[in-house]
Chain A
Amino acid sequence: MLALNETWYLVLAAMIFTIGAVGLLTRKNPLVMFMCVELMLNAVNLTFVTFSKALDDIAGQAIVFFVMVVAAAEVVVGLGIIVAIMRRRQGADADDISLMRG
């Protein structure tokens, strides 16, 4: 049986990141796009923790802590923006918000 080493975690994180990126590019509901951003952030967090274990360095986990804080702040402000947009235009999706298109 194959031994479980860091590469397994890193490959899994790469797959989750890819799924999140493709979802961000294809979905149009702003809420679902935010969820895909969360997926990508979690994949990166998993990579950080894996390297923290592999290189025996706690600083990787400290970085994950900061990523989580920034993700929470980002979600709060992003959902505030979405609520403000939806209040103005019911059922708007990402394609409708194109006023600033050049």
Chain B
Amino acid sequence: MRVEMFTFLLTAAICLGGSLGVVLLRNPVHNALSLVATLFGVAVLFIQQGAYFLAAIQVIVYAGAIVILFLFVIMLLGVDRAEGFDREPILGQRPAAVAAGVAILGLSLTALLSVGARVTGQASTLAAIDGTEPNINALAKVLFTDYVFAFEITSVLLTVAVVGAVVLSRKAGPAIDLAEFPDGTTAALMQAKHEAAFEELESEPEAEAALNTEDETPEGEAEITEEALR
């Protein structure tokens, strides 16, 4: 019991510190790293309560995928700088937010602590956690029987999310019409364009005068290929 308590207190400190870091730190990269600390802490608490599969998913999906996605977007947009706290659009927004937070915490703590130490409610009779069955087996059994319809709907949701992300983040522009290019022509044109750009890069400013006659051909080729590619 003492070890469990120690683990809990340590993990709770990590969780609270991480979540405070998400809210209070100025740099978005530091926010994302604090979020990782909180997610790992929650994963440890999952393990402590026997939810082994969810702990693994928590580390793989949350810390491994979602936070990396956050970091990608931060780096992509270049917003890794401190945000300005100078202006406040709604008067007294921050005191009101803190008051709302105190209200939420007070309400939930009152609800939690007023009933005493034990959780009220009926213990399960249908999907009881059997000590002998592995956690992942029990979870799979309930996912593919009682919740199978929700599980299938989940796959639709993920498909919608992927399509939505592609539609939202793609740049509008003319598509390359592949019908214009018979077999192999596209690759040859790209090759010519690449070589022309390379030669242009290699020609030094002083050598340009001497190579003036030779320089014109690749540039002309590059223009032609660019037009053809459009």
Q: Are B62 and A77 closer than 8 Å at their CB atoms?
A: no
Nearest chain A CB to B201 CB, angstrom units: 29
Write out, one digit per residue, whether chain A residues 52-89 have a CB within 8 A of any chain B CB (1) or not (0): 11111111011011101111111111011111101100
Known A18-B105, A93-B83; contact A39-B100, beta-carbon cutoff 8 A: no
Q: Are A25 and B158 closer than 8 Å at their CB atoms?
A: no
Give the total number of A-B pairs whose CB atoms are below 8 A apart. Answer: 244
Q: Are A27 and B39 closer than 8 Å at their CB atoms?
A: no
Q: Are A81 and B168 closer than 8 Å at their CB atoms?
A: yes
Q: Are B164 and A29 closer than 8 Å at their CB atoms?
A: no
Nearest chain A CB to B124 CB, angstrom units: 3
Known A31-B73, A50-B49, A53-B129; contact A76-B161, beta-carbon cutoff 8 A: yes
Q: Are B46 and A39 closer than 8 Å at their CB atoms?
A: no
- From residue 159 to 173 of chain B, which have CB atoms closer than 8 A to chain A? 160-162, 164-169, 171
Write out, one digit per residue, whether chain A residues 36-58 have a CB within 8 A of any chain B CB (1) or not (0): 10110010011001111111111
Known A31-B28, A72-B66, A76-B161; contact A12-B73, beta-carbon cutoff 8 A: no
Q: Which of B90-98, B187-195, B203-211, B216-224 contacts A (4 or more CB under 8 A)?
A: B90-98
Contacts A19-B19, A31-B31, A46-B46 known; 9 new A-B pairs at CB < 8 A: A18-B104, A21-B101, A35-B32, A59-B124, A65-B54, A76-B162, A79-B69, A83-B73, A95-B87
